[in-house]
Structure 1
Amino acid sequence: MLGRDCRFLQGEGTNPETRATLREAIDDERPASVDILNYRCNGQQFWNRLTVAPISDADGEVTHYVGFQTDITDRKIRERRLEVMNRVLDHNLRNKMNLLAGYADLLRSDLDDPDALKSVEVIAETTDDLMRIATAARKIDHTLSAPSPAATSAGLRGGISQLASRMRDRYPAATITLSLPEDDSLDTTVVGLPTAIEEGVENAIKHNDSPNPAVDVRVERRSPEWLAVEITDNGPGIPDHETRVLDRGETPLTHADRLGIWLIYWVVSKAGGEFSVDTSAEGTTLRLVVPANP
């Protein structure tokens, strides 16, 4: 569309604030990128990722503008679908599960028949399980939806020390050891990394049937640009189907029962790092290798 103003693609549903953002950028002679609702000639709506940038001559005077457009309709639909599903998990499902749990408690107090009580316990356990899934889904959404900090880094060393203290208070029977490099605050801008480490540590304790669970958290700075985190436990190991899906994806026959492993995987992948799992009957080691400042 050489020489044409892209405004002819706009229509009734185009957000005025988006238009204003583009206009201000052009007036200030600076680049801008926006998601904008556009219209085809037949009236069909579609979403564009529009990037506009000024072009200057040899004297530094802006003479033209170049625009790049990418159809992101599928992405927008997917984002909206996720928003709806998150609301369902956060509100509808949680409320329904609370209702079921309340009625299960009422039935439990009124029943004397052992078989009937056993059925009520199954209802209560299933309700608790669904509530945990909903909570895990909300946690994943909250962690991965956090905006990437432009240049603000946080000291991972202090966060891990606080995490160990919380876990010891929460699980007194567990032994948690830390191996951290000296004189290094382990600054990083990886979004969600403390949450991923906490997920790995807590899952290692909760899914360990030993009376004395043991978890070791080791952090190394393999180079100035990369951090490596290892979480090792003495638990029974993670089932093969839980780790296989990380390489092959979810299928009707293979799926992860716990969302925590996906949270860790997505945090590391978002940062451009590598996540691996070594597991056996003697225990499991989770390895998270990430750039310190992606």
Structure 2
Amino acid sequence: MVSRRRLASVIDDKAALANFSRVRVAMILTDPRAEDNPIVYVNSAFERTTGYARSAVIGRNCRFLQGENTQKEHVDKLRHAIEHAEDVTVDILNYRADGRPFTNRLIIAPILDSNDEVIYFLGIQKEMYDTEREEDRANALLLKVRSRVQEDLGMVLDSFSAQSDDDPISFDAMTRRLECLQLVYESMQLSDEQARMGNGIDLGALVSRVASGIAHDESRSGIRYIQQVEPMIVNPDAAVRISILLSEVLSNAFSHAFERMEEGFVEMRMSRLAAGGLRMTVTDDGVGLPQNVPFPDPNTVGGRLIQTLTEGLDATITPVRGAAGTVVMIDVPVGITDI
């Protein structure tokens, strides 16, 4: 098994954390197991920098960014690194959707699964200006972003590596997971700056932001959403894992609880336990879990990710099938969240 660095190790470098966001540094993922290593994810910074909409690039190889003045030696350097699953950094001339050229500092790094197999390539991109091209600081910053994120993404994306024909990859779900991770990093930085709590993270504020974003994106007319979250300060590793775990469970409720139903409600609560630790519950009044389907389901991408996160927190997850709807209760024990 690969020894993975903790997700929250990104908090150790505030400069890297500040610049790994959905709006400042472009990020892409490509799938080397598919024909021609196509793009499977881009963030909003990529769209803003290149002028290409996400819908126009998913499924294409990155070479469409090249043009007549792109140097062959730079392209060959990238190709060699990908063929040998190596990290690489290159300043390459790329072209925006409107044809304008720009210098792109591009860092490519392989993302490994738990068996040390390459499952994706991570691309970190930043447009370079004349005043930055010779600055060591700019390159060092991007390398820190890469090193902090490379293995962190591996844990989240490893769940995709075992998909089957019955459980195909949902690019919308992949996007949600990756943007949740970036949202967590941004919120961690904001929380730390505002509260000045050192390495402590305001989990209440973080969870509220993550949950509200999911409810906004995935709810629909007739479905009410309620949340009640107690403020609490926890360590960064627990904050990241809890936030992503909540994202999975809450998204599952919005996606599956109300099939063929026009109305309903979803409620999320997070509170301290008297003996220490915390409890999260996600409740809905929808169709309920099928009796013959386990939760989390190890045969699905989401189920495997929930299992991984739960085990990493030493937490327990208990689904309750009610007369109407489902309650999912997650208990995180004392000590795991200590600063």
TM-score, normalising length: structure 1: 0.45
Q: Which has the higher helix share?
A: 1
Which structure exhibits the higher relative contact order, with contacts defined as CA atoms closer than 8 Å and separated by 6 or more residues?
A: 2
> Which of these two proteins has the greater Rg computed from alpha carbons?
1
TM-score, normalising length: structure 2: 0.40
